[in-house]
Amino acid sequence: MEKIKNVYCIEGLMADSNSYLIDNNDGDGDYNYILVDTGTGQSNAFLFSQLGEIGVKPEDIDLIVNTHCHFDHVGGNDFFPNAKIAIHKKDAVALRDPDSELTVSSLFGAIVRKHDVDIELEEGDKIANFDVILTPGHTSGGISLWDGEILICGDTIFANGGVGRMDIGGSPIDMKDSLMRLKEFDVEYLLPGHGPWVKNGKEHVKMSCLNMGIR
């Protein structure tokens, strides 16, 4: 685990996504502890232990922000009893539907246990000190969070030039559009949905663009 500004970075265990805890205790808004993505929920003891190292209990989480609707990012939502759930309105449709194949829970041999959506996010909304950026491509309602230095990008971009797969509810055209947009951001820290978070994030965004034929 590493702290970057007001964000604690927690590496996902096994199939879990990474989780990012935004400490907003000194900021504006109604939410003090905001957890970005909760993994599958199948390794929740590990996530709890990481949160416990900084003195945060599951019931302390006020808000969960899901970067998109896939099971490996939303499966742990039900382990946080006091948290409201926020996701982009386009992916909220899939998360609310227990029968939706767009959550890809079947790929993990599991089911999504919590289908609540309390807040439907849109482009330009604020989460603590972060702006909500719509970055479709991996899913139609995938989002990134941007504070001017840190980009929490879900499964849109990975370190070292990776991009999210586009064959499970995504779109290569949307992905290219999102990458072209993110290429203009002066990203210092790239915090992806899986794999390592990295400094010099702008260079990693450029590599992802090149891998998609964007120059």
Indicate if the pLDDT at residue 30 is higher than 90: no
- What's the domain count of the chain? 1
Q: Average of pLDDT values for 172-185? A: 97
> Do 156 and 142 form a contact (C-beta atoms < 8 A)?
yes
Burial letters 37-56, b for 16+ CB under 10 A, else e: bbbbbbbbebbbebbeeeeb
Q: How confident is the model at residue 41 (pLDDT cuts 50, 70, 90)?
A: very high
Q: How confident is the model at residue 27 (pLDDT cuts 50, 70, 90)?
A: confident
Q: Say what the pLDDT of residue 104 is.
A: 96
CATH of the domain at 107: 3.60.15.10
Tokens of 131: 């702006």
Global pTM value: 0.96
Q: Average of pLDDT values for 209-214? A: 92
Q: Over the chain, what HEC string results? A: CEEECCEEEECCCCCCCCEEEEECCCCCCCCCEEEECCCCCCCHHHHHHHHHHCCCCHHHCCEEECCCCCHHHHCCHHHCCCCEEEEEHHHHHHHHCCCCHHHCHHHHCCCCCCCCCCEEECCCCEECCEEEEECCCCCCCCEEEECCCEEEEECCEEHHHEECCCCCCCCHHHHHHHHHHHCCCCCCEEEECCCCCEECHHHHHHHHHHHCCCC
Q: How confident is the model at residue 182 (pLDDT cuts 50, 70, 90)?
A: very high
Q: Average of pLDDT values for 88-116? A: 95
* Domain limits for position 183: 2-211
Q: Say what the pLDDT of residue 99 is.
A: 94
Q: Say what the pLDDT of residue 36 is.
A: 98
Q: Say what the pLDDT of residue 151 is.
A: 98
Q: Say what the pLDDT of residue 26 is.
A: 87
Residues 123-137 pLDDT 10s: 999 999 999 999 999
Q: Say what the pLDDT of residue 177 is.
A: 97
Residues 189-199 pLDDT 10s: 999 999 999 99
Q: How confident is the model at residue 110 (pLDDT cuts 50, 70, 90)?
A: very high
Sign, CA torsion 30/50/19/198: positive
Mean pLDDT, the chain, integer: 96
